[in-house]
């Protein structure tokens, strides 16, 4: 238990630092912007209680918002993403599988499950993020293009970082 907390703590700081100091400066004009920090919420353990998951998602969002000067925006997107995560996991994973697979990583759950998981959660996060950033429905087409291109960028980065720390666990 203690080990899981420490690993997630380190992961949180690494991802926030990468997002704020490196990825904030990267982007294809205004169209494709990576938000890799959501990997922290993706990789939280299966057994986490709902209230803790929402609290962590909200505070991660607020931390990013303070650095981006967009208070509330990433927090809203992260809480919605946490909700989608709960639904998706309750549909696709049996409850008794929790003991030997502590967290939903690529190594533990296999490539096919993980790519669907990360794509759906990334798109839900980016959709909320970009619609609320715009705050009007007039430019819906432009917003959807931004959501799509940014999601491709983010998912690519998530897969790269998952393969970089890949560890195959016996199921």
Partner 1 sequence: MRNIWLFFLKHNAFFLLVFYFLISLSLLIKNNSFQRASVWNSSNKMVGSAYEQVNEVKGYLSLRSINDSLAAENALLRNQLASSFKSDSLKQVTVRDSTLKQQYTYTLAKVINNSIHQKNNYLTIDRGTKHGIAKGMGVTSAKGIVGIVLNVSPDFATIRSILHSETKVSAQVNGNIGSLVWGEGNNDSRYVYLKDIQSHLIIKKGDRVVTSEFSLFPEGTNIGYVVENRKKGGDGEMDIKVKLDTDFSTLQYVYVINNLLSAQQIALESQNKIE
Residues at the site binding partner 1, with contacts judged by CB under 8 A: 21, 24, 27, 29-30, 33, 50-51, 54-55, 57-58, 61, 65-73, 75-76, 79-80, 82-83, 86-87, 132-135
Q: Which one, 113 or 132, has the nearer CB to partner 1?
A: 132
Shortest distance, CB of residue 167 to partner 1, whole angstroms?
Answer: 30
DSSP 8-state class, residue 97: G
Q: Which one, 35 or 114, has the nearer CB to partner 1?
A: 35
The candidate with the shortest Cα–Cα distance to 59, out of 42, 68, 69, 72, is 72
Structure tokens at 128: 């909320």
Shortest distance, CB of residue 111 to partner 1, whole angstroms?
Answer: 27
Shortest distance, CB of residue 110 to partner 1, whole angstroms?
Answer: 25
The rounded distance, in Å, linking the Cα atoms of 93 and 127 is 25
The candidate with the shortest Cα–Cα distance to 7, out of 125, 121, 109, 102, is 102
């Amino acid at each position: 238990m203690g080990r899981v907390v420490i690993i997630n703590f380190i992961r949180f700081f690494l991802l926030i630092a990468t997002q704020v100091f490196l990825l904030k400066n990267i982007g294809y004009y205004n169209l494709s912007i990576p938000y890799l920090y959501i990997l922290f919420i993706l990789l939280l353990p299966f057994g986490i209680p709902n209230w803790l998951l929402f609290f962590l998602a909200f505070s991660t969002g607020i931390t990013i918002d303070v650095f981006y000067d967009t208070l509330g925006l990433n927090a809203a997107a992260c809480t919605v993403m946490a909700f989608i995560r709960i639904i998706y996991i309750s549909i696709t994973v049996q409850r008794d599988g929790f003991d030997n697979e502590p967290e939903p990583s690529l190594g533990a759950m296999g490539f096919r499950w993980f790519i669907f998981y990360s794509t759906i959660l990334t798109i839900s996060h980016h959709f909320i993020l970009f619609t609320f950033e715009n705050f009007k429905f007039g430019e819906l087409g432009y917003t959807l293009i931004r959501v799509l291109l940014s999601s491709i960028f983010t998912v690519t980065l998530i897969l790269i970082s998952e393969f970089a720390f890949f560890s195959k666990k016996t199921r």
